[in-house]
Amino acid sequence: MKLILLGAPGAGKGTQATRIAAKYNIVHISTGDIFRANIKGGTEIGKLAKSYIDAGKLVPDEVTCDIVKDRLNWDDVKGGYLLDGFPRSLFQAEELSKFADIDLCLNLEVDPALIMDRICGRRVCACGESYHVSTLGGKTTCAKCGKELYTREDDNPETVKARLDTYNKMTAPLIDFYAAKNKLATVVCGTKTPDEVFEAVCRVLDK
């Protein structure tokens, strides 16, 4: 199964992607994680990516496409994969179709006001776990590994608004792109819990 997970920043893609990958035994490929690893490593791509991410903009298509194309050549994706954060533009989607045959694009639909609250209240851990301040009860450490939680530099109202504007302009058109190919399934998240969203996602994928 080769999937794309689509949704605005803060729609819960990371949470659902982890669960989908585990349940269906496919590889979760997050372009965000790839870029963050390069940023942490101080690579040239990392430095370039950081300048765009900090401004709430997208990393140039050519750079992103090359990274994803390389990743899809790894042996671990032969049994299937889920792309999270790619494609983010019609150009990327068209380029992806040249080197990958996607089975389904799963779109998570969430109200923008909820997204703003989710992202600005998000706290993350170096181990990959993510939390929201409303569920932490004042705690500042990760329940999984005990490390100190932190706020990503781009998780602030100004950057979030810029990211949502960019999403609506650049990425939302992909909904029509994959619908035209009969490869789109939309799950309306609303105020559903992550568990409820995952149940809806599984109903779609099990078909």
Report helix, strand or coil for 182.
coil
Written as one letter, the residue type at 56 is G
Please name the residues in contact with 72: beta carbons below 8 A apart, sequence gap of 6 or more: 29, 81, 99, 100
Written as one letter, the residue type at 75 is D
Written as one letter, the residue type at 96 is L
Catalytic center residues: 13, 88, 122, 152, 163
Cα–Cα distance, 186 to 109 (Å, whole number): 7
Quick check: 67 and 61 in contact, CB under 8 A?
no
| Beta carbons within 10 angstroms of residue 95's beta carbon | 20
Edge-to-edge strand list for the sheet holding 184-188: 27-30, 81-84, 2-7, 104-109, 184-188
Please name the residues in contact with 179: beta carbons below 8 A apart, sequence gap of 6 or more: none
